[in-house]
Amino acid sequence: MAADAGPGDPGHKGDIILWADAHLCIVDKPAGLLCVPGRGEDKQDCLSARLQALDAAARVVHRLDMVTSGLVVFARSAEAQRRLSDAFARRAVDKRYEAVVQGCPVADGGDTDGWHTIDLPLAADWPRRPLQKVDPVHGRPSRTRWRSLGHDAAADRSRLLLAPETGRTHQLRVHLQALGHPICGDALYGLAVAAQAPADPRLLLHATRLDFAHPITGAPLTFDSPAPF
């Protein structure tokens, strides 16, 4: 649900839209749904198409992986789209995710307030596209901050809060795999560590929070969506 968002119309066009005003809308994407159309007739059903069927003015600003659920912002005008896209490019949007990972990550120290940093450059793994990989030579700078929200000793799993400082493809998934603690249910990056196919029916990664300035008024906006796992 939206929190501290100011004037708007929560859920005014059905459950797909959590909140909207004249300039933007906030959507809670389910896992397994593309953000934009893919190649082929079987990949035309997507979040943007469903939203534009309800609101023809909706414009794409950013994306989540198909297997990731959670908050996505859409613009409702060309100017709002330009300003929101610029805010994402300038890293002026604070994004938070929750993930359940295998094992219990141990930090190497150095950070404060329980936060720790993964600083590993990422690049496309061209022979195995669409996979990405850590590449110290050709990779682009990539940083993810994380902190533990708890450990389930019986299942040997941990719940993490994640704050990506960059927005590379599959960044959270590759960084956590590189840490030795892949996200549970990750069919792309979990199998290299787990000896068997993941038992979870989906990737346990959810975009839980967005903080940014309203693209037109400048008012601070905060939106939250509890992880469904």
Q: Which of 157, 167, 155 is nearest to 207 (CA)?
A: 167
Among this protein's residues, is 111 annotated catalytic?
no
Rg (CA), the chain: 18
Q: What angle do CA 143, 163, 14 make, to 5 degrees?
A: 135
Among the listed residues 45, 65, 113, 200, the single catalytic one is: 65
The residues facing 109 across adjacent strands are: none
Handedness of CA 29, 31, 35, 40 (dihedral sign): negative
What is the DSSP track for 128-157? GTT-EEE-TTTPBP-EEEEEEEEEETTTTE
Residues acting as catalytic residues: 65
